[in-house]
Amino acid sequence: MTGLESAEDFHARVLAAAGEDGRLAFRADDAMAAWDIYPYELDGLRMKPLAPLADAEPPRRGETAEECWCPAGVPPEKELAWSNERWVLQALPGTLPAELMLQPRTHHDLGDLPADLAAEMGVLTVAIAAAVESLPAVARCQLARYGDGGAHLHLFFLGRPSRMLQLRGSPLLDWADQLPPLPDDVRRAHAAHVGTLVQDAVGGFGPSGL
């Protein structure tokens, strides 16, 4: 197909925009750094030098089903906010009012999720987002899929704290990295609240082990 840029060409074009020290100039005027929600003061802030292009993408954790956690299933003692025969929803330790992770029980990544699971993922995404947003400490549920660490599909549902307007938008994770930990009893109560509402909305099994 014509017009598609190779990894080498993309990297070379970005590197050509960097200075002699390999750093891109820090854009503050027409970039995220100009947003009022940008979490950092700009004095002294600079980009790390660009790394060379890697020879290949490194393998991720659990790249094949044989290497992944999923053939053994979720241990029965594991905390689950909600589950059914095909999906599990866990409440992760963190700093935000809710940090939940949704995974299929069978080995798939986002790009190879069968259509029936993809359709169910849409319904679940709506139900989980609504449940997270019903927490009194949450205004908005943010969604994320990175897929650079573990190969097994895992979606993040992140509760943006209500009325903390600096935490809006994509800098939420930068703030979350610096906030104090969410107390574990609060994490469990929030997970149970979310799981119960998801069960009310779509069926399946409510909170377990919490």
Question: If binding is defined by CB under 5 A, does position 107 make contact with Zn ion?
Answer: yes
* Position among 38, 70, 154, 175 found at the interface with Zn ion (CB under 5 A): 70
Q: Which stretch binds Zn ion (CB under 5 A): 22-30, 32-40, 79-87, 107-115?
A: 107-115
| Site string (6-45) toward Zn ion, x via CB under 5 A | ----------------------------------------
Q: Report the C-alpha dihedral over residues 60, 65, 69, 75, rounded to 10 degrees.
A: 160
CA distance between the termini of the chain: 52
Q: Which stretch binds Zn ion (CB under 5 A): 17-25, 67-75, 116-124, 161-169?
A: 67-75
Residue 121 DSSP label: H
Q: Which stretch binds Zn ion (CB under 5 A): 25-33, 60-68, 157-165, 168-176?
A: 60-68
Helix (H) or strand (E) holding 90: strand 87-91
Q: Which stretch binds Zn ion (CB under 5 A): 42-50, 61-69, 126-134, 137-145?
A: 61-69
Question: If binding is defined by CB under 5 A, does position 155 make contact with Zn ion?
Answer: no
* Position among 15, 18, 68, 201 found at the interface with Zn ion (CB under 5 A): 68
Dihedral angle sign, alpha carbons of residues 18, 19, 22, 23: negative
Applying CB under 5 A, the site for Zn ion has a residue count of 4
Question: If binding is defined by CB under 5 A, does position 117 make contact with Zn ion?
Answer: no
Q: Widest CA span of the chain, in angstroms? A: 59
* Position among 121, 152, 176, 194 found at the interface with Zn ion (CB under 5 A): 152
C-beta separation of 206 from 195 below 8 A: yes
Encoded tokens for 206: 């409510």
Encoded tokens for 166: 């600096």
Encoded tokens for 72: 């053994």
* Phi and psi at residue 87, to the nearest 5°: -140, 155
Q: Rule CB under 5 A: which residues touch Zn ion?
A: 68, 70, 107, 152
